[in-house]
């Protein structure tokens, strides 16, 4: 992290982007780190947030504009200078409320102060930004000229072309455009009420009294949607009355339908969001074995269970791809919420879209191994749910279909849920563009023998 204390919204945004580039920091963690240190007025906090996320959400488009105006190749521009130029171009070309002179002057100041730039580089950046500002003022910004719809969407919505092509092959052109647009929109914060401690109406009333803009989810009975406010700092959160959880995750647990006094195995459980809802739906009666492969992540499960008063949760170190003899045939319900590419949660973590395509190529192999192994823990008549927070079929339907072909002892269970509707083949994909949730896949299976 950058040691200096940021003093302006643009410094917070720049430091956040530098940390992501230089240390691989996540956008939300880095942004909050610098916002906490900056002590900005609410308006400037909002501007810093908008700039940081705006650049991540529009990086490819900003670079395209930069290429049109820069005589220097992008690969030859130093990383911090490049980030500052993206910051300037975003303000000049893609927003309409920020005065151009402030965008140019403050970007040049950032380059001078934080990008280790010499006068020649500062002059180059100044020239590029002034040219963009002039073109924007004259309504003469270059128009995207792309050979096909996919390459146009890729630039227009700043998603890599391989991802756009994959989504188009799966969902079609128009639905893909809607998904990409939804990925760049602001997601509401969704809150789930711990029904062991309160009820939705009471929580809604309290949050409204405390100045939050909240309303009940129109289709998910357990959820509240908040448009603003820091729920995690509210006493209702610290006292374990509410959890921040996407509606799609709640739907996943509702389809698993865990019952009190049963044994549930949550095989890839950290940080524990679904485990907590499972234990709440079991009225804190029975056992939830909550596994993860990383020991340090088990502490998060433990802390969350304690906060919510859930004593039946047992955080357990276990590789879900490796057999554990004493669990075979014992569980009433098994949840495999497997590691995935995360291409459904771009709305919340915008940088996920830029993951290396090769790095996520082998995920289906790991996912199949986990499903294959954890299926052995389900007792006859028991339920197996496979889920991911991605919308790529190769990690979803393809994994489950192959599993079902090889395991006639399992059958798909038709799904009916108010948030999604019905699915005869036991598989559903929730989409930000349709369901206003994270992109999420859920398959519900039953063990016959």
Ligand X SMILES: C[S@@+](CC[C@H](N)C(=O)[O-])C[C@H]1O[C@@H](n2cnc3c(N)ncnc32)[C@H](O)[C@@H]1O
> What are the catalytic residues?
389
CA angle at residue 100 from 98 to 106, to 5 degrees?
A: 85
Asked whether 332 and 263 are in contact (CB, 8 A), the reply is: yes
Binding mask 306-325 for ligand X (x = CB under 6 A): -------------xxx----
The region of 44-52, 115-123, 160-168, 270-278 touching ligand X under the rule CB under 6 A is: 270-278
* Relative orientation angle of helices 119-137 and 59-69, to the nearest 10 degrees: 100
HSE toward the beta carbon, residue 29, CA cutoff 13 A: 8
For position 253 contacting ligand X by CB under 6 A, the verdict is no
Which one, 200 or 274, has the nearer CB to ligand X?
274
Rounded Cα–Cα distance for residues 211 and 224 (Å): 15
Binding mask 326-365 for ligand X (x = CB under 6 A): -----------x-x--------------------------
Asked whether 414 and 368 are in contact (CB, 8 A), the reply is: no
Interaction with ligand X in 372-391: which residues (CB under 6 A)? Answer: 389
Per the annotation, where are the binding residues for S-adenosyl-L-methionine?
A: 268-274, 292, 319, 337
Binding mask 87-116 for ligand X (x = CB under 6 A): ------------------------------
Which one, 40 or 265, has the nearer CB to ligand X?
265
What is the dihedral angle through the alpha carbons of 207, 209, 211, 214, rounded to the nearest 10 degrees? 40
Which one, 85 or 374, has the nearer CB to ligand X?
374
Q: CB 325: neighbour CB atoms within 10 A?
A: 6
Decide: helix, strand or coil at residue 446. strand
Binding mask 388-407 for ligand X (x = CB under 6 A): -x------------------
Which one, 39 or 295, has the nearer CB to ligand X?
295
Q: Which residue has the tokens 């036991």?
A: 426
Rounded Cα–Cα distance for residues 167 and 307 (Å): 39
Q: Which residue has the tokens 């129109």?
A: 218
Rounded least distance, CB 370 to ligand X, Å: 6
Beta strand 286-292 pairing with 313-317: parallel
Task: Choose which of 103, 164, 291, 334 interacts with ligand X (CB under 6 A).
Answer: 291
Which one, 272 or 286, has the nearer CB to ligand X?
272
Binding site for ligand X (CB under 6 A): 249, 268-274, 291-294, 297, 319-321, 337, 339, 370, 389
């Amino acid at each position: 992290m950058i040691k200096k204390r940021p003093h302006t919204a643009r410094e917070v945004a720049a430091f956040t982007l530098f940390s992501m580039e230089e240390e691989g920091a996540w956008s939300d963690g880095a942004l909050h780190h610098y916002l906490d240190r900056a002590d900005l007025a609410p308006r400037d906090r909002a501007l810093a947030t908008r700039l940081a996320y705006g650049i991540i959400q529009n990086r490819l488009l900003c670079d395209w504009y930069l290429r049109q105006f820069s005589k220097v190749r992008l690969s030859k521009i130093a990383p911090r200078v490049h980030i500052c130029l993206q910051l300037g171009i975003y303000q000049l070309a893609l927003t309409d409320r920020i005065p151009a002179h402030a965008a140019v002057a403050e970007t040049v100041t950032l380059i001078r102060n934080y990008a280790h730039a010499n006068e020649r580089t500062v002059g180059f950046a100044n020239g590029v930004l002034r040219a963009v500002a002039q073109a924007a003022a004259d309504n003469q910004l270059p128009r995207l000229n792309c050979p096909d719809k996919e390459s146009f969407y890729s630039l227009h919505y700043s998603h890599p072309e391989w991802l756009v092509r994959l989504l188009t092959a799966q969902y079609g052109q128009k639905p893909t455009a809607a998904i990409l647009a939804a990925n760049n929109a602001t997601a509401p914060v969704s809150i789930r009420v711990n029904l062991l401690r309160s009820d939705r109406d009471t929580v809604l009333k309290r949050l409204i009294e405390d100045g939050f803009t909240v309303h009940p989810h129109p289709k998910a009975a357990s959820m509240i949607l908040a448009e603003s406010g820091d729920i995690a700092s509210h006493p209702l959160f610290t006292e374990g009355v509410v959890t921040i959880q996407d509606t799609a995750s709640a739907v996943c647990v509702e389809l698993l339908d865990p019952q009190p006094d049963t044994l549930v195995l949550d095989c890839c459980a950290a940080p524990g969001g679904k485990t907590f809802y499972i234990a709440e739906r079991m009225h804190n009666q029975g056992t939830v074995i909550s596994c993860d492969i990383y020991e340090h992540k088990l502490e998060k499960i433990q802390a969350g269970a304690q906060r919510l008063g859930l004593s039946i949760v047992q955080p357990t170190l276990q590789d879900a791809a490796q057999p554990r003899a004493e669990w075979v045939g014992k569980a009433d319900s098994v949840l495999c919420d497997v590691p995935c590419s995360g291409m459904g949660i771009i709305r919340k973590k915008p940088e996920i879209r830029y993951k290396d395509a090769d790095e996520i190529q082998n995920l289906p192999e790991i996912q199949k191994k986990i499903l294959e192994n954890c299926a052995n823990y389900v007792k006859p008549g028991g339920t197996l749910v496979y889920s991911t927070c991605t919308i790529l079929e190769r990690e979803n339907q393809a994994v489950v279909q192959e599993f079902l072909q090889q395991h006639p002892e399992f059958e798909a269970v038709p799904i009916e849920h108010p948030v999604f509707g019905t699915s005869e083949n036991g598989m559903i994909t929730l989409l930000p563009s349709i369901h206003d949730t994270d992109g999420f896949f859920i398959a519900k299976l039953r063990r016959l023998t």
